[in-house]
Amino acid sequence: MGDVKRRRIDELAARAGQVPEGEGGVSLTRSAFRRLRRDPVAIIGAVIVVTFLVVALFAPWLAPRDPLAQTLLSQIRPGLIPGSQEGFPLGVDNLGRDLLSRLIYGSRQSLMIGVVSTVLGVAAGMALGIIAGAFGGWVDTVVMRFVDILLSIPGLLMAISISVLLGQNQYALMIAIAVTQVPIFARLLRGSMLVQRGSDYALAARALGIRKRRIVFGHVLPNSLSPVIVQATLSLATAIIEAAALSFLGLGDPDLARPEWGAMLANAQAFLSVRPELAVYPALCIIVVALGFTLLGESLREALDPKFRR
Amino acid sequence: MTSVLGAPVLEVDDLSVTFQRKGEKPTRAVDGVSFSVAPGETVGLVGESGCGKSVTSLAIMGLLPSRGVKVGGSVRLEGQELIGAGSRKLRSLRGAHMAMVFQDPLSSLNPTVQIGTQVTEVLLEHRDMSKAEAAAEAVALLDRVGIPDPRRRLKEYPHQLSGGMRQRALIAMALACSPRLLIADEPTTALDVTIQAQILELLKELVVDTGTALVMITHDLGVVAGLCDRVHVMYSGKIIETADRHELFAQPRQPYTGGLLASVPRLDAGRGTPITPIRGSARDAIPWAEGCAFAPRCDNAQDDCLTEVSGSVVPLEPDGPGRELRCRHPLQYPTAPSGATALGAAR
C-alpha cells in the first residue's frame, strides 16, 4: 500500500520537472480559433457563409438550368406567372427564366461585390489608419479630419453619388461601396494603434533601441488588428446589403446577363400582387447571407476579445 | 561623488524634468538630481510612488515624450552627453549600451509575438549577426538567465511562461548586447516573494559577472538591503539623503528615511507590535521652493523648515564621509555608528 503510494509520488515528482509534449507555442490566433470552434453561434454563421460560398463557386454545376433561358413563355399571361412545377422548383419569373437558377447565379455577384469592396475598403482604411496611428501629431490630425468628413456623409448617399460619378458598371459599384467602408476602418485601426503605442511592450521595445518602423509593423500593428478583423466580417454583411440596395435602385451592373439579387428584387416589384415569391426569395437570400456574416463576426469579436480570454 | 571602482558609467548632474501642458501650471517631477554609478556598482533610487524615481529613469533613457516635457541638466553615459542628443543616436545607444527592465513582465512582452522573435530582434538591431547566429545567441542568453529548455521556450508566447520566467526573458533581452548600464524599474514588484529573491539574485550575479552598472529603482527597502551598494532616497522630485547601504540602515539621518525604515514590519519585533507609519501622504508635500517638501509630515519639523524663515530651499549638503543630506533638523545619534540604534537595520 505504502509502496504504491510512494511510487505514485515518485512518478508525479518525475513529471513535475517536465513540460508536456507539444508542438511549441500556442499563438493567440490559434487559441481564438479553438474558442471559435466551440461556439455554436460561430458554427451556424460559418455554415451559412460556407454554404453560400460553395453555391457561388459551383453555380454552373448546381443550377438546374441556364439562368437566362426563357421557357414556359406560353404560360405567362398578364396576372399569371406559373409557380413551382416539374423542373422549376421555385417557378419562373415574368420573362420565363428559372428562379432557382437565377438565385444561384445571383450569389456570385452579391458575394463578389461584397468581398471585393470590403477588401478594398479595409486596405484603404488600414493604410490611412496606419499613417495616422504611426506618425501621430499633425499627420494624424489631417488624416482624421479627412476621415471625419467622409464619415459625416451617410453611407448609402455617398455610394449612390460615387456610382453615379463613376458610371454604371460593377467596378464602380465595388469602389462606391468600398469608399463608404474606408472611414470606419481608418478610425478603428488608428484608435487601436494609439492604445497599443502607449503600451508597456512598445515602451520596452523603445528602451531596447528597436527602430520605429519595426515597432509599428512588428509590435503595434499585429496587436491592433483584431477589431479590424471583426469589423471586416461585419462589414461584409453591410456591403452585400448595400450592393443589393444599389442595384435595386438601378445603379448596379447594367449587364443583364449577370443575375443579381438586388436587381431581381427590383424586377419583382411590379409583380408583387401576382407572385410575391419572386421578391421573397432573393430578399431571403440577402437576409440569410448577411445574417451568416454577422453571426460569424460577432463570435469572432468574442473569440478575439482579451476580456473573454482565460 | 567619485567611486573607488573606476570611471563612472553613468553621471547624472542636476537633472530636472518639468511637465508642461497647455494652460496648466508646469509640474516639476524631478529637480536637481545628481548621482553617478561606477562599473559593477548597484545604486538604489528609493522613494514612494510619485517621488520622481521612474521619471528619472525614463529621462536617462531618453524615453520621455518630447512634447510637453522639458528635461534639463546633464546625463553622461561613459562620457557621452545624452540630454539633447539626437533620437537616432539615442536609439543606437538604447539596447546596446544602456537597457532597462520594467515593472510588469507580462505587459512588457508583446503578447502576439514569440519570445524568440523578441529576443533575436534586439540582437539583429544592434549586433552584426545573421538570423541563425542570433537564434543561437538567444538560446545562450535564455540559458544564462536560468530559463530551462530554452530552445522550446523561444517558440512559445509570453502567456505560456510563468511570471518569473517572463522577467528572466526580459532581463535576457536587456542584457543581449552586454550594455554598460542597466536600469531596473521595480523589477520584482509584480512577482511572488520567492521569485523576487531569485530575480534579485540573478541581477546581482549578472552585474558582478559583467561589470555592468545597475540602477535599481524601488520602493522596497528589502530590495535595497539585499542588493544596493549606495542608496539615494528621493522625496517629491529631489534627493534628500544619500548614503552607503549599511550606514543608511544603521543611522538614517533624514526623518523621512527614518520613517520609511520604522514603517517596515520586523521579524524580531514582538508579536502585536504595531508598525509606525509616516503620517499624512505624499500629497501633503509643499513646493520645494518654499522650504522642505516633507515638513508637513515631519516630526522634527520646525519653523525654519519653511521658507518664510529660512528664505531658501533646504540644500543637499555633505554629511560625513560619503553621505549627503537635505535636512535642517536630522535625526541625532548619541554614540558612534558601531552600536545598534533604535531603528537598526531593517531585515
Residues of B in contact with A222 (CB under 8 A): 110, 112-113
Least confident window among A78-87, A224-233, B287-296: A78-87
Q: Are residues B31 and B116 in the same domain?
A: yes
Q: What does the alpha-carbon distance between residue B84 and residue B298 come to, in Å, rounded to a whole number?
A: 38
Q: Are residues B192 and B289 in the same domain?
A: no
Q: Are residues B217 and B287 in the same domain?
A: no
Per-residue pLDDT, averaged over B232-258, amounts to 90
Q: Report which DSSP code applies to A209.
A: T
Q: Is the pLDDT of residue B5 over 60?
A: no
Q: Is the pLDDT of residue B59 over 90?
A: yes
Residues of A in contact with B160 (CB under 8 A): 25-26
Output the pLDDT for position A120.
94
Does the interface predicted TM-score (ipTM) exceed 0.90? no
Longest CA pairwise span in chain A (Å)? 95
Q: Residue B200 is part of a domain; what is its CATH number?
A: 3.40.50.300
Confidence of residue B44 (pLDDT cuts 50, 70, 90): very high
Least confident window among A79-93, B85-99, B230-244: A79-93
Q: Are residues B267 and B223 in the same domain?
A: no
Q: Are residues B68 and B170 in the same domain?
A: yes
Count of C-beta atoms within a 10 Å radius of residue A248: 20
Residues of B in contact with A209 (CB under 8 A): 91-96, 122, 125-126
- Enter the C-alpha cell of residue B140: 545562450
Inform me whether the C-beta atom of residue B104 falls under 8 Å from chain A C-beta atoms. Answer: yes
**Helix (H, G, I), strand (E, B), or coil: what is residue A275?**
coil
How high does pLDDT run on average in chain B? 85
Q: Using the beta-carbon criterion (under 8 Å), do B152 and A19 form an inter-chain contact?
A: yes
Q: Which amino acid is at B337?
A: P
Total number of domains constituting chain B: 2
Q: What does the alpha-carbon distance between residue A279 and residue A85 come to, in Å, rounded to a whole number?
A: 18
Q: Is the pLDDT of residue A6 over 90?
A: no
Q: Using the beta-carbon criterion (under 8 Å), do B92 and A209 form an inter-chain contact?
A: yes
Residues of A in contact with B113 (CB under 8 A): 218-219, 222
Q: Classify the C-alpha dihedral A187-A189-A191-A193 as positive or negative.
A: negative
Distances in Å between the alpha carbon of B190 and those of A39, A189, B106?
Answer: 34, 31, 9
Output the pLDDT for position B1.
43
Q: At what angle do helices A277-304 and A221-248 cross, to 10 degrees?
A: 170
pTM: 0.78
Q: Using the beta-carbon criterion (under 8 Å), do A206 and B92 form an inter-chain contact?
A: no
Q: Using the beta-carbon criterion (under 8 Å), do A208 and B174 form an inter-chain contact?
A: yes
Q: What does the alpha-carbon distance between residue B291 and residue B96 come to, in Å, rounded to a whole number?
A: 41
Output the pLDDT for position B10.
93
Output the pLDDT for position B332.
86
- Whether B346 is covered by a domain: the verdict is no
Interface of A with B in 198-237 (CB under 8 A): 199-201, 203-211, 214, 218-219, 222-223
Q: Is the pLDDT of residue A25 over 80?
A: no
Q: Are residues B172 and B309 in the same domain?
A: no
Q: Are residues B224 and B257 in the same domain?
A: no
CA distance A24 to chain B (A): 6
Element (H, E) at B126: helix B115-126
Nearest Cβ partner for A26 among B99, B125, B160: B160
Per-residue pLDDT, averaged over A252-272, amounts to 82
Nearest Cβ partner for A200 among B96, B108, B114: B108
pLDDT tens figures, A273-305: 888 888 899 999 999 999 999 999 888 888 877
User: Which residue pairs from B302-307 have beta carbons closer than 8 angstroms and sit at least 24 positions apart in sequence?
Assistant: B302/B328, B302/B329, B304/B328, B305/B329
Per-residue pLDDT, averaged over A91-96, amounts to 76
- Enter the C-alpha cell of residue A115: 468581398
Output the pLDDT for position B341.
46
Query: What secondary structure does DSSP assign to B93-110, as a single string?
Result: HBTTTEEEE-S-TTTTS-
Cβ-based contacts under 8 A for chains A and B:
88
Output the pLDDT for position B192.
82
Per-residue pLDDT, averaged over B12-35, amounts to 88
Cβ burial B23-40 (10 Å sphere, 16+ → b, else e): eeeeebbbbbbbbbbbbb
Q: Are residues B165 and B270 in the same domain?
A: no
Q: Which of A45, A20, A44, A36 is nearest to A309 (CA)?
A: A36
Q: Residue B153: phi, psi to the nearest 5?
A: -65, -30
Best-predicted range by mean pLDDT (A83-97, A240-254, B143-157):
B143-157
A259, A99 in Cβ contact below 8 A?
no
Q: What does the alpha-carbon distance between residue B328 and residue B291 come to, in Å, rounded to a whole number?
A: 10
Residues of B in contact with A211 (CB under 8 A): 91, 125
Which range marks the domain in which residue B220 is found? 10-228
CA distance B98 to chain A (A): 8
Residues of A in contact with B63 (CB under 8 A): 203, 206-207
B193, B164 in Cβ contact below 8 A?
no
Best-predicted range by mean pLDDT (B2-16, B166-180, B197-211, B283-297):
B166-180
Nearest Cβ partner for A200 among B96, B102, B113: B102
Q: Which amino acid is at A118?
A: T
Q: Are residues B30 and B104 in the same domain?
A: yes
Contacts of A288 (CB under 8 A, 6+ apart): A48, A52
Comparing alpha-carbon positions, the chain B residue that sits nearest to A199 is B107
- Whether B138 is covered by a domain: the verdict is yes
Inform me whether the C-beta atom of residue B63 falls under 8 Å from chain A C-beta atoms. Answer: yes
Cβ burial A265-280 (10 Å sphere, 16+ → b, else e): bbbbeebeeebebbbe
Q: Using the beta-carbon criterion (under 8 Å), do A214 and B174 form an inter-chain contact?
A: no
Q: Is the pLDDT of residue A19 over 50?
A: no
CA distance A231 to chain B (A): 20
CA distance A129 to chain B (A): 20
Output the pLDDT for position A23.
43
Inform me whether the C-beta atom of residue B99 falls under 8 Å from chain A C-beta atoms. Answer: yes
CA B243 to chain centre: 15
Output the pLDDT for position B333.
83
Q: Using the beta-carbon criterion (under 8 Å), do B159 and A206 form an inter-chain contact?
A: no
Confidence of residue B97 (pLDDT cuts 50, 70, 90): very high
Q: Which of A52, A30, A31, A34 is nearest to A42 (CA)?
A: A34
Comparing alpha-carbon positions, the chain A residue that sits nearest to B126 is A209
Q: What does the alpha-carbon distance between residue A145 and residue A310 come to, in Å, rounded to a whole number?
A: 38
Q: Is the pLDDT of residue A21 over 70?
A: no
Q: Using the beta-carbon criterion (under 8 Å), do A201 and B110 form an inter-chain contact?
A: yes
Residues of A in contact with B108 (CB under 8 A): 200-201, 203-204
- CATH code for the part of the protein at A30-57+98-308: 1.10.3720.10
Q: Using the beta-carbon criterion (under 8 Å), do A24 and B155 form an inter-chain contact?
A: yes
Count of C-beta atoms within a 10 Å radius of residue B309: 11
Q: Using the beta-carbon criterion (under 8 Å), do B122 and A222 form an inter-chain contact?
A: no
Query: Between B231 and A267, where is the model more confident?
Result: B231
CA distance A257 to chain B (A): 47
Least confident window among A227-236, B73-82, B116-125, B306-315: B306-315
Output the pLDDT for position A243.
87
Residues of B in contact with A219 (CB under 8 A): 110, 113
Inform me whether the C-beta atom of residue B92 falls under 8 Å from chain A C-beta atoms. Answer: yes
Q: Which of A160, B273, A11 is nearest to B262 (CA)?
A: B273
Q: Are residues B66 and B114 in the same domain?
A: yes
Strands B98-101 and B42-46, sheet pairing: unpaired
Query: What secondary structure does DSSP assign to B230-263, as a single string?
Result: EEEEEETTEEEEEEEHHHHHH---SHHHHHHHHT
Output the pLDDT for position A5.
66
Query: What secondary structure does DSSP assign to B77-94, as a single string?
Result: ETTEE-TT--HHHHHHHB
CA distance A26 to chain B (A): 7
Distances in Å between the alpha carbon of A184 and those of A22, A118, A176, B280?
Answer: 40, 11, 14, 50
Radius of gyration of chain A (CA): 26
Comparing alpha-carbon positions, the chain A residue that sits nearest to B161 is A25
- Enter the C-alpha cell of residue A208: 531596447
Inform me whether the C-beta atom of residue B200 falls under 8 Å from chain A C-beta atoms. Answer: no
Residues of B in contact with A208 (CB under 8 A): 94-95, 99, 121-122, 125, 173-174, 176
Element (H, E) at B27: strand B27-37
A273, A22 in Cβ contact below 8 A?
no
Q: Residue A158: phi, psi to the nearest 5?
A: -65, -45
pLDDT tens figures, B303-323: 778 765 556 778 888 888 889
Cβ burial B56-83 (10 Å sphere, 16+ → b, else e): bbbbbbbebeeeebebbbebbbbeeebb
Q: Are residues B269 and B156 in the same domain?
A: no
Q: Using the beta-carbon criterion (under 8 Å), do A223 and B112 form an inter-chain contact?
A: yes
How many C-alpha atoms does A293 have within 13 Å on its Cβ side?
24
Q: Are residues B120 and B218 in the same domain?
A: yes
Q: Using the beta-carbon criterion (under 8 Å), do B159 and A208 form an inter-chain contact?
A: no
A59, A105 in Cβ contact below 8 A?
yes
pLDDT tens figures, A33-55: 888 888 888 999 999 999 999 99
Element (H, E) at A31: helix A28-37
Q: What does the alpha-carbon distance between residue B266 and residue A291 come to, in Å, rounded to a whole number?
A: 65
